[in-house]
Chain A
Amino acid sequence: MTFPALGTMGYLIGGVVLLLAAASIVGWLIARRVTSDAARDTVRNLNSRIKAWWVMVAIFAAAFIFGKAVTILLFLAVSFYCLREFYSLTPTHPSDHAAMAAAFYIFLPLQYWLVWIDWVTMLTIAIPVYSFLALPVLSMLKGVTADYLQRVAKIQWGLMLAVFCISHAPALLMLDLGGVPPVQLLFFLVTVVQLSDVLQYIAGKLFGRHKMAPNVSPSKTWEGLILGGLAATAVGAALWWITPFSPLEAAGLAFAIVVAGALGGLVLSAVKRSLGAKDWGVMIEGHGGALDRMDSVTFAAPLFFHLVNYFFAR
């Protein structure tokens, strides 16, 4: 084996494909059995998640085969759709047109270009500093002061969540981790986030008694969070061998991902509800939009990136 990494990622993706194939078959069988409306909703939700994962696995396979450029382009597309969903739901004024155009046509490509050229410092300040200063200027120039602070805050928030936060997932590819190919860390992050989401959902459906935040996200329960989160942490620990971490460190980082992901899901749910919507969009056949599937990644990715960059990167 001249390319040990090729073997590892090949097995990982192959393993996920087998797991998903099994999940798809089980989901299809259950969908034919269930009779009650509530159960049908649950199964439909699970099956739509499984479909979304097929897309993600395809993205990973493509990223693995075609390398960094394709990975960055795919995440750029994800950011584009998330930003579009966020701004479409967010009421802005026509005079914010220039600020939103700058967000889409300048800051979105700029952020991913910074990932491409490995400029970590600028990556971490381009949106929090430069867009934070520039976009309010563009909105102010039109001279409409009604709801001005709300409007500029919403535009900056959309850019932070959909572009800044999500770009930290492909930014993992910049890190020098000794012998470990950084794409395996991206795999670690996305696997733990997504498993945590679904395990919390399943554990919540099976054992959920105590609602965690009934006003924000009525389906989330403490039982789901704890059991699902612990299971996802255990899976993360079991994946230590694809990372530069020891098993204990892998568990700790997986735990950080789980907590950040759960909080990110709740925060985005609160934002969504304050905008009066149930789903961010209709991208995945009536089961929510891109941002509904990326909500936990938005919080987990920057935290994971900085923890790894600080403690493990050279």
Chain B
Amino acid sequence: MIGELIVAATRLTVGGHGLWIGCAPSEKQRIYFANHSSHLDTILVWAAMPPHLRRRVRPVAAADYWGKGRLQRRISLGVLNAVLIDRQTRSSDPLEPLKEALAAGDSLIIFPEGTRGTGELPSAFKPGLYHLAKAFPEVELVPVFLDNLRRALPKGSLLPVPLSCVARFGCPIQLEAGEAKAAFLDRGREAVVGLA
């Protein structure tokens, strides 16, 4: 119910139309990786999915934003069923909650830049995507490009401008045998850029 309201509000304000260019929506276990430019990114990718997929596709969100206030926790945990990760601590493996979710058979939405960028194209990817691809080779890696959101709600602003934003889903990529970390991350970034 709250989920539907959020999807409706997202549609009305920023659109959130999903364009499946390189693959079709599927129940297959996947990691969707997207460029990150606004706080609405998480909700937009989630809203662009067909409703029956949303239950098993869990956005990965930063605990320092989505786990902080009561409203944020309510939305991130209660509605989006998000996996919260701690960006600050270096003590434990920050990817641990993601690996648990993947082991349980869930799909994930991740933003490999780690933080919201300001440029037109995504900045360099953090190595998380590589480690997940290596640990779960059977999971499909789907690049996603979120268009217009950086104009609709740029970093530092609170009020979204109602532009229509689209989520473009590209061809799944795979970690090749023996592929180096940097080369793979570059290729992943190129896959997202290719949808821009």
Contacts and interface: CB of A to CB of B under 8 A. Distances in A.
A3 interface: no
A84 B151 contact: no
Contact of A97 (B15, B157, B164, B165): B157
Nearest to A94: B154
26 contacts: A80-B162, A84-B162, A84-B163, A85-B164, A87-B161, A88-B163, A88-B165, A94-B118, A94-B150, A94-B151, A94-B154, A94-B155, A95-B154, A97-B151, A97-B152, A97-B153, A97-B154, A97-B157, A97-B161, A98-B157, A100-B161, A100-B163, A101-B159, A101-B161, A104-B161, A104-B162
Contacts of B151: 92-94, 96-97, 100
Contacts, number: 39
Q: 10 nearest interchain CB pairs?
A: A94-B154, A88-B164, A100-B161, A88-B163, A101-B161, A97-B157, A97-B154, A94-B150, A101-B159, A84-B162
A277 interface: no
B152 to A, nearest CB: 8
A134 interface: no
Contacts of A282: 17
B27 to A, nearest CB: 26
Interface of B is mostly: loop
Contacts of B81: none
Interface centre among A87, A88, A93, A105 (most CB of B within 10 A): A88
Interface in B154-178: 154-155, 157, 159, 161-165
Nearest to B147: A88
A98 B153 CA distance: 10
Nearest to B163: A88
B29 interface: no
Interface residues of A, number: 18
Interface string B2-14: 0000000000000
A264 interface: no
Given A88-B164, A94-B118, A282-B17, A105 B159 contact: yes
B15 to A, nearest CB: 8
Given A94-B118, A94-B154, A97-B154, A84 B159 contact: no
Interface string B131-156: 00000000000000000101111110
